[in-house]
Structure 1
């Protein structure tokens, strides 16, 4: 593989984003350069805060082990999230019952659901609830709204906990739309928060189809709580193409990847 230095670094970052890590020996083989050259590339990328070097290679930079507040999440990758929300909403049919979790990406679905007829939306997201109430009061949304009660997380503007989980147990949905905090091919989809992740697991268990929405920053990351394996997901909607080295495994477990436009 004949690549100039900057292109080689781009290749390394591409591998980091898809796998979450790179190994020096594999990069030597793939790029056909010396281990000393790879070491210099990794040093340069670490200085640029693009990755973190570890023994034998490097891992993706995880800028925070804590979940940003809902307000901060809304403005991160906002344009990409709007496009993902629109593409995810296109999967919803008239007369369906759907779960929408508290993610800032799933929130972007709401405005694109207004033309659906006889829809029932169940959510634990306080901003989604307020948006739906506003649209309903202005006669822009004609469907039903069901809000899961429970413990309120004011920082994240959501409801979680055992009461919310118990309420979800009483419903079955056609589709569940779930936001995630990390996704990697061999570790599935993950969340910063155990309570949020547990409620999402309940939603997915009670839905006929599970749709994960994820902007590019979530791909290749692993967070604290495992929400599901990839084979428990039916569709992934993202703002970027499927990583090349994920294609075979996603096909094996029958997961469809939709790139938003």
Structure 2
């Protein structure tokens, strides 16, 4: 096998297993330790890996979070079907919290016009729900994060502590064995308080968020009751959810009829 072919195979192994050792390269490709080390050096020079003692790992991936308006323009079919499934869990007389994410907005857009109370720190969710006469809206006041269109700060957290609700619907940038993560600390602090005030915690995440760990962790998996996603996760991820007693709802069966 030529070196170029071997380097591609090493990267494929890393994508599946996160790390590789010199011994594994020797065993997998029947090469000497010197050859394996040269492969690692070459990949490091190309900035494809990070060299570790005795092997290599993939570099961390920074997940750029576009501003809210840009994300709204890219709301996918997956988010819409997740939103539809989530909205079906909101019943008459429920008191719920909706956070400020585009996936949760897909839920807000599909909530039935029924008598219920929605508490939110999202000016977008409030605007969407204002067209539903039966829905009572409590908009949390605080500092406006203009780019991502959510309200945050001590006043938001303090006001949240006064509410005790049936359900909270939370969007994430990543959900993994590290728990729930988000890009911005001020957003995460509010989400953490929202979770504390709810009897049932429902996380909305399309399949690209599964197994991802982003910058700021705001909750552990044992705090989550339900995960709604669009595709059946991998077996290891399903085992992770089972370990923490997280109920999995896959919304792909609801795809038909969503526009």
Contact 2:229 2:250 in 1 (8 A): yes
Secondary structure class of the residue paired with 1:144 = strand
Tell me, yes or no, if structure 1 residue 149 matches structure 2 residue 141: yes
Equivalent residue, structure 1, for 2:173? 181
- RMSD across aligned positions (CA): 3.3
Say if 1:199 and 1:63 are closer, same or farther in 2 by CA, change over 3 A. closer
Contact 1:191 1:224 in 2 (8 A): yes
Question: Which of 137, 140, 159 lines up with 1:167 in the alignment?
Answer: 159
Equivalent residue, structure 1, for 2:100? 102
2: distance between equivalents of 1:192 and 1:163? 21
Equivalent residue, structure 2, for 1:53? 49
Segment of structure 1 superposing worse, 219-228 or 191-200? 219-228
- 1:207-253 C-alpha deviation (Å, 9 max, x unpaired): 00101111222222222211101001111111222221122232121
Secondary structure class of the residue paired with 1:24 = strand
Say if 1:88 and 1:10 are closer, same or farther in 2 by CA, change over 3 A. farther
Contact 2:202 2:225 in 1 (8 A): yes
Once the two structures are superposed, the pairs formed by residues 182-221 of structure 1 within 5 Å of their partners are 182-185=174-177, 187-221=178-212
Contact 2:96 2:166 in 1 (8 A): yes
Alpha-carbon deviation of 1:260? 1.4
Contact 1:24 1:35 in 2 (8 A): no
Equivalent residue, structure 2, for 1:87? 85
After TM superposition, which residue ranges in structure 1, 4 or more long, deviate above 4 angstroms?
8-14, 35-40
- 1:157-205 C-alpha deviation (Å, 9 max, x unpaired): 11111111111111011000001112222x1111111111010011100
Secondary structure class of the residue paired with 2:58 = strand
Contact 2:15 2:58 in 1 (8 A): no
- 1:118-137 C-alpha deviation (Å, 9 max, x unpaired): 2111111111111111x13x
Q: Whose relative contact order is higher, 1 or 2, with alpha carbons under 8 Å and at least 6 apart?
A: 1
**Under a length normalisation based on structure 2, what TM-score does the superposition of the two structures give?**
0.79
Structure 1: gaps spanning 5 or more residues: 16-20
Question: Which of 109, 128, 133 lines up with 1:131 in the alignment?
Answer: 128
Question: Which of 150, 160, 180 lines up with 1:158 in the alignment?
Answer: 150
Question: Which of 216, 226, 233 lines up with 1:235 in the alignment?
Answer: 226
Segment of structure 1 superposing worse, 189-198 or 70-79? 70-79
Equivalent residue, structure 2, for 1:18? none
Secondary structure class of the residue paired with 1:98 = strand
**Under a length normalisation based on structure 1, what TM-score does the superposition of the two structures give?**
0.78
Pair member with larger Rg: 2
2: distance between equivalents of 1:155 and 1:34? 49
